Amino acid sequence: MPISHTGVTVSTDKFKEVIAWYTAALAPLGYAPTRSFADGNVIGFGCDGVAPDWWVVSRDFSSTAAATPGGTIVATHHAFRAKDQETVKAFHEAALAAGGKDNGAPGPRPQYGPTNYGAFVFDPAGNNIEAVHGRD
């Protein structure tokens, strides 16, 4: 069975910036904010009219329970499927234009499979976000 939904939790002070970034960066992949709850502190992004499967949650990380033992927040890696190489390129361009940091220009990634073509960008909270096509 495919994954139902996933997402990231970001610090309250970065939340609005991160939401704006995902809105711009994921648009080429067909995603848009489609649902909000908890007084706007949880935003769901859906693709092509389907229920949200990508969520961004705001959290106050001043709590020690919310951070790693060293007091730092752990960044994560998430990959979104793209319909073709042009969509991977469009994601990368939109993500950088929205303020993301390059972590790998669009191109073949044969170490991940013979037809793998991807691009990587750090979101404003430091998460490594990828768009990938041809994941064998």
Phi, psi for 53 (deg, rounded to 5):
-125, 0
Give the CATH number of domain 7-60+76-133.
3.10.180.10
For 86-91, which contacts have Cβ atoms below 8 Å and span 24 or more sequence positions? 87/28, 87/29, 87/131, 87/133, 88/117, 88/118, 88/119, 88/131, 88/132, 88/133, 89/119, 90/28, 91/25, 91/26, 91/28, 91/29, 91/119, 91/121, 91/131
DSSP state of 97: H
| Residue 113 pLDDT | 87
Cα 134 to Cα 14: distance, rounded to the nearest angstrom: 32
Residue 51: what residue type? A
* Predicted confidence pLDDT, tens digits, the chain (136 residues): 577 889 999 999 999 999 999 999 999 999 999 999 999 999 999 998 888 999 999 988 765 445 554 555 667 899 999 999 999 999 999 999 999 999 999 999 998 889 999 999 999 999 999 999 987 6
| Residue 3 pLDDT | 75
Cα 31 to Cα 25: distance, rounded to the nearest angstrom: 9
The domain spans of the chain are 7-60+76-133
User: Of 111, 103, 57, 48, which is closest to residue 81 (Cα–Cα)?
Assistant: 48
Phi, psi for 72 (deg, rounded to 5):
-105, 155
Cα 25 to Cα 104: distance, rounded to the nearest angstrom: 15
> What are 13's two structure tokens?
């002070």
